[in-house]
Amino acid sequence: MNVARMPRPDSVALVTGASSGIGAATAQALAGLGCRVICAGRRSERVQAVAEKLGGKGFPLVLDVTDPDSIAKALASLPADWRDITILVNNAGTDKGGRERFDKGNIDDWVGTIETNVTGLIRITHAVIPGMIERDLGHIVNIGSISGFTPYAGGTIYAGSKYAVHGFSESLRKDYRGTGVRVTEILPGLVRTEFAFQRWEDDPEKAQKFYDDFGECLDPEDIANTVAYAVSQPPNVVISQLVVLPSAAG
C-alpha cells in the first residue's frame, strides 16, 4: 500500500482566479492542507486580501491569463522559494456577455471567453509544467463545468470553452501517464459565486435572479473540498474527473 502523504508538506500551489469564488475557497483549502499558495488574479487588492488571510502561506500574484507578457513577468517575479510549483489549479474563468444566442453576442466577449477559459489555461499550464516534469512531481487541476458535457441554448462559447477544457484535460493526463505528473478535471454544476455578476456585469439584478431562481446552489467551499480531495490522494491514484452537483439537481 502506498502511504506517501500528499500533498507533500509545504508544497507550493498556484491557483488562478483566486480573487473570488471557487479560487479563493480553493486557496484556503490548500493552505489548510499545509500548502503554500500563490493566489493569482487581475485585481490586485483582491488577491492581496485572499493571500493575507492565509498568513505566511499565501503569496499574491497579479496576472492576466489572457496576456502572455503578464504571465511571464508574474512567474519571473516569484521569489526563489515560491517557484517550485507542484499544484496548479486552473480555475480562472469567465462567461462575460454569455447566455445569449450566438449571433446576438458581442464577438469581443465571445473571443475573450475563449482566451480566458481555454488559451489562458493552456498558457499557464505550458509555463508551469516543465518544472513539474523536471522534478517528476506535479498535479494539475482544471476547473471544467457540467457545461463541458451538457450544452444548452445560449452556451455556444462558454460550453464550447469547457468542452475544450475537458478534451485538453483528458489528453494531458495521457501525455504524462506513468510519470509523477497527474491531471484532474473537476466539473461543477451551479455554484453561487460572482460568476453570473461578471456575465451580466451591467445587470446585477439579473445575476441575482439567476441564482435565486435556481434554488439551492453549491458553495465555493464544496468545490474547494473536491480539489483538496483530489490532490490528497497517494501517488498511485489519480482522480481523473469529478462531477459535482447541488443535491437538488442531482
Question: Is 72 or 249 the residue whose CB approaches ligand 8X3 more closely?
Answer: 249
Question: Is 49 or 114 the residue whose CB approaches ligand 8X3 more closely?
Answer: 114
Q: Which of 147, 169, 226, 241 binds ligand 8X3 (CB under 6 A)?
A: 147
Nearest CA to 37 among 231, 206, 218, 245? 231
Name the catalytic one among 158, 176, 211, 229.
158
Within the chain, residue ranges assigned H as helices are 21-32, 44-53, 68-76, 107-114, 121-135, 156-175, 195-199, 204-214, 220-231
207 binds ligand 8X3 (CB under 6 A): no
User: Nearest residue to ligand 8X3, using CB?
Assistant: 145
Selected range binding ligand 8X3 among 23-31, 128-136, 188-196, 216-224, rule: CB under 6 A: 188-196
Q: Lay out the site mask for ligand 8X3 across 27-46 (x = CB under 6 A, - = otherwise).
A: --------------------
Q: Which of 26, 91, 94, 145 binds ligand 8X3 (CB under 6 A)?
A: 145
Sequence-separated (6 or more) residues with CB below 8 Å from residue 189: 146, 218, 243, 244, 245, 246, 249
Nearest CA to 132 among 247, 2, 1, 13? 13
What is the rounded CA–CA span in Å between residue 166 and residue 162? 6
To the query of whether residue 158 is one of the catalytic residues in this protein, the response is yes
Q: Which does 194 bind (CB under 5 to 8 A by kind): ligand NDP, ligand 8X3, none?
A: ligand NDP
